[in-house]
Structure 1
Amino acid sequence: MSEEQTVSLVDVLEEDEELEEEASAVLAGSDSDHCSYPQGYVKRQALYACSSCTPKGGEAAGVCLACSYKCHEGHDLFELYTKRNFRCDCGNRKFTDLQCKLHLEKEELNSLNKYSQNFFGVYCTCSRPYPAQQDHGITRLTCSQHLGCEVPDCVELQEMTCESCMNKSPFLWTYAAHLSVPAVQVKEEREEDESNTTLPLKEDKGEDAVEPGCKRSRQEAEPSCRLEELQAFDHKGVQSGAVFWPSGWRSKLCCCTTCKGRLSAAGLSFLLDESDTVLAYENKGKNNEQRAPGHDPLMSALDQLNHVQQLEIIHGYNDMKSELKDFLQRFAEDGKVVTPDDIRQFFEQQSRKRRRDDAGCFFPT
C-alpha cells in the first residue's frame, strides 16, 4: 500500500499566495467597482460570459469584472481571462430580463465587439467545455495536445499564436521563421544542403541590418521593408503548428507604411504596441494592487483605531503567528498530521491566554 500523499501547511500557504498573485495580475488591471462601459472599447480587461442570462443558442455577450460581481452574483459565469477592445454588454439588448445595476444608459448593442465560441464556455478546436479545458490547457484557448507541436522549454517564452490564426495572416510565417522560439518547424522542399535557415537580412552593414523599418533614419525617402528582406531569403515550405514568441519580438516587426497597412487590414495593428501584451497588462495589475492597499479590509479597520490600539493588535498578531509556527513545527518534527481538533485546541489555548492577560491589564479612564 502506497503512503497517502500529504501536504504541509506551508505548501498550502505558498499555493494560496501564488493564486492570489495570479488573481491580482488578472483582476487588478480591471475595475471591480465600476462598470467599464463608459470607457468605451477598453484596450484590455478581464471579461466573463453569463450562461444564466445568455444560454447557448442565444447571442454571445460579455460582461466586465464589476458587473460579474454586482449584476451577475450567483449566476453561472464563464471566465474569459482578458479580451482586447471590448465594451461591456451587461444590460443591453442581449439581456432580456436583466438591467445593469452600475450603468443604466447603454446602447442596445456594441457593434465593434468580437465574439467566439469561448463566450459559450467552449474552447480549442476540440470544443472542450469549460472548465474541463483548464485541466489540459497551455492557454485558456487551446489544449496542449492540439497545438500541433511541442511546447518549447524556454524561460523567455512570452506569447503564442495558434496555427489557425497564423494561416489567416500568412505573412506572419515569415517572421516566425526568424523570430519564434524555437524556429518554426518547416517541411522543406529543398535538398538538405540548401536547408540553411540562418537568414541574414542583407550584407553586413552594422546594426542597421537588424533595425525595424520604423527606426531607420527619417532622411531616407523610401525606407526599406524588413519583411521584404526576410521574404527574399525565405524557404518555400509548409508551415504548421502553433508559434511561440520570445520577449520583445514585437519590436522586431517592420512598421513601414506598407506593413502598417497590412497589419491594419488583418486587424493586427496591436502587434506594434508593446503595452498590448498580456504580460504588460498583468504587470499593470500587480502595480495597481501594490499602490492600493486601502482595499484590504483589515488595513481599513486598523485605520479607524488609535495608535495604541493599532500597536496592541499588531503585537497580538505577531505573537499568535510566532506561536502558531512553533505549534505546527512540533507536528512536522514528529511526522504527525495536524487535525481539526489540534487547531481547535490551539485557538482555545490562545483564547484562555488572552483572558488571563486582559485580567491583569489596567486601562486609563
Structure 2
Amino acid sequence: MAGDGSDTAFPDEAEQTVTLNEYIDGIEAEELEADLVLGGDDGNECTYAGGYLKRQAVFSCITCVPDGVAGICTACCITCHEGHEVVELWTKRNFRCDCGNSKFGGHLCKLNPEKDPENPANSYNHNFKGFYCTCGRPYPDPEAKEQVEMIQCCICEDWFHEDHIGLDSIVKMPRDEEGEPLYEDFICHKCSPICYFLKLYPETIWASSKQSSASQAFTADSNGLEEDSADQADTEKNENGARVDHLSVEKPSVEDNCAEDIAAPEKSILGDNSGGNCKLGMDVDRTSADLEKAMPFFMSKGWRDILCRCGTCTKVYAQRGIAHLTDKDDSIEEYEKVAKQKREKKLEQQEGAEANFINSLNHVQKIEILSGISDIKNELHSFLQSFDPSKAVTSEDVRSIFENLAKKKQRLS
C-alpha cells in the first residue's frame, strides 16, 4: 500500500538550490540585462537637456497621461513617477523626455522643471497606452495562459506576436536549431511596403536558417560589392549550368526573399557607391509592392551596411521616414554596445574607488577590516554547519547572524 507522502518527496518536487557563485552570476546577468535595456543610463539625470536622443529607454506613465501621448526617461520614471502605473517601452528613437510638460496637467518634473509645453518631433503609438501588436493586447497579457515573446519592428517600433505578423503556413521565422533568432532586424508586414526597394538587393541581406550575415557574404573591391564563391555556387546556376541573375529571380518565401520579386537591373553585382553613384543603378522610388501580398522582412546581420547611400537613395529614405536605416547609432546592436562600454567603465570606477579607500587606511584600520571579513566568514560557516538544509534561509536567520557578530564584538571590546 502506498504511503501518505508526509515523510517523502518526489524528486521533481524537491526544492531547487543554487550555489553562492551561481546566485552572484545570476545577479550580474540581471544587472547586465538591465544596463542593456536602459542603455547604461544610471537614472540620475533627466535626458531632456540632451534633446531628441537617437535612442533611449522610454516609459509611459498611464497614471499621469492615460491617453498615451507622452513618454518619460529612466530618471523621471524613478524620481517623478514612483508608485504610478508605468509601462516600459524598451527603446525609442529620436525621442525627448515629456515629463512635466503641458501633457501632465501642471505636475512639473522634479529633475528639470523648465521644459517646453510639448516636444513636437516625438512620435507616439498605442504602445504608450500599454497596448501592442495588431491585436492591441497589453504585455504581459493578464488573459493569456502563457506569455508569448514579442518582436519589435525596426521601422514603426511596435511589438508583435509571431502569430500576428502575416506569416503563412510556408514562411517561417528564421531560427537556428535551438530556436534562437537568426535575424538582426525585423520589418513588419505593415512597414514592408515602404521598404520594398530592398528587394533590389542581393538575397544575402535576408536572414534565413541557411545564411550567416550580409557583412560576411560580401567583399568590397574596386568594382563594387561581390558575392563570395559559396554564395555564387548557390545563387548563380540554374539546371543548365547557366548564370542566373539573383536580382531577377522569384523568391517564394521570407527565407527566399519573402515575396514575388520586382523588376531589377540586369547586372547581378551591386555597383560602386563612390562618387555619388547609385549601387543599384535605378530609381528606387519607382519600386512598388503588392499590398495584398505584404509580408514581413527578416534582415541578416550587417544588412544596413549594404544599403546605397547615394543622393537619390538618401532622399528616398528621408521622404519615406526611414533615414535612420543608414545611421549606425540607430541600431540596437550599437545601443547595446555603448551600454556595455558604460557598464565596464562604471565597474572600473567602482573598483578604483574601493582600491583608493583601502589605500587611504592606515595599517591598524586595514587589519581591522581583514579581521572583520574573517569573522563574517567564520560566522557564516558556523551557521551553515548547524543549519537544517531541508529548510529555507529566512531574513530572520540572516539578521541573527549579524546579531551574533555584534555580540561577539561587544564581548571582545
- Please state which band the TM-score falls in when normalised by the shorter chain: 0.7 to 0.9
Cα deviation for residue 71 of structure 1 reads 1.2
Instruction: Tell me what 2:336 maps to.
Output: 282
Q: Which amino acid aligns with 1:276?
A: D
Q: CA deviation at 1:253?
A: 0.8
Aligned length: 336
Question: Is 1:100 aligned to residue 100 of structure 2?
Answer: no
Q: 1:326 to 1:273 in 2, by over 3 A?
A: farther
Counterpart for residue 229 of structure 2: none
- SS of 1:169's equivalent? helix
Between the aligned partners of 1:159 and 1:326, the Cα distance in structure 2 is 53
Report the Cα distance in structure 2 between the residues aligned to 1:126 and 1:83, rounded to whole angstroms.
Answer: 21
Indicate the residue corresponding to 1:130 in structure 2: 139
In the alignment, is residue 61 of structure 1 matched against residue 83 of structure 2?
A: no
TM-score normalized by the length of structure 1: 0.74
CA contact (8 A) 1:166 1:173 kept: no
1:157 aligns with 2:183: yes
Name which of structure 1's ranges 129-138 and 28-37 shifts more when overlaid on structure 2.
129-138
8 Å CA contact 1:50–1:72 kept in 2: the answer is yes
Shift in Å, 1:148: 3.3
* 2:195 aligned partner: 169
Distance 1:330 1:197 in 2: 76
Q: 1:29 to 1:344 in 2, by over 3 A?
A: closer
1:101 is displaced (CA, Å) by 1.3
Cα distance in 2 for partners of 1:118, 1:288 equals 28
| In 1: Cα distance, 2:17 partner to 2:239 partner | 57
Question: 1:339 aligned to 388, 392, 395, which one?
Answer: 392
- The answer (yes or no) to whether the contact 1:176–1:243 under 8 Å persists in 2 is no
Change in 2 beyond 3 A, CA 1:229/1:244: same
Q: CA deviation at 1:74?
A: 1.2
Separation in 2, partners of 1:316, 1:245: 56
Task: Say whether residues 1:143 and 2:161 are aligned partners.
Answer: yes
User: Contact (CA 8 Å) 1:161, 1:244: kept in 2 or not?
Assistant: yes
Question: 1 CA distance for matches of 2:356 and 2:338?
Answer: 27
Amino acid of the structure 1 residue aligned with 2:120: S
Q: Is 1:272 paired with 2:358? A: no
Partner Cα separation in structure 1 for residue 372 and residue 101 of structure 2 = 51
Give 1:62's aligned amino acid.
G
Question: Aligned letter for 2:393?
Answer: P
Q: State the Cα distance separating 1:282 from its structure 2 match.
A: 1.4
Please name the residue that 1:110 is paired with.
119
Question: Residue 104 and residue 182 in structure 1: after superposition, are their counterparts in 2 closer, same or farther (change >3 A)?
Answer: same
Match among 237, 244, 259 for residue 313 of structure 2: 259
Q: Greater helix percent: which structure?
A: 1
Contact 1:250 1:272 in 2 (8 A): yes
Distance of aligned partners of 1:32 and 1:347 in 2 relative to their CA distance in 1, 3 Å threshold: closer
Q: Between the two proteins, what is the percent identity of the paired residues?
A: 31
The more displaced of 71-80 and 140-149 is: 140-149
The residue identity in structure 1 corresponding to 2:324 is F
CA separation of 1:224/1:46 partners in 2, compared to 1, >3 Å: closer, same or farther?
closer
Change (3 A) 1:108 1:359: same
In structure 2, the residue matched to 1:24 is 35
Taking only aligned residues, the RMSD between alpha carbons, in angstroms, comes to 4.4
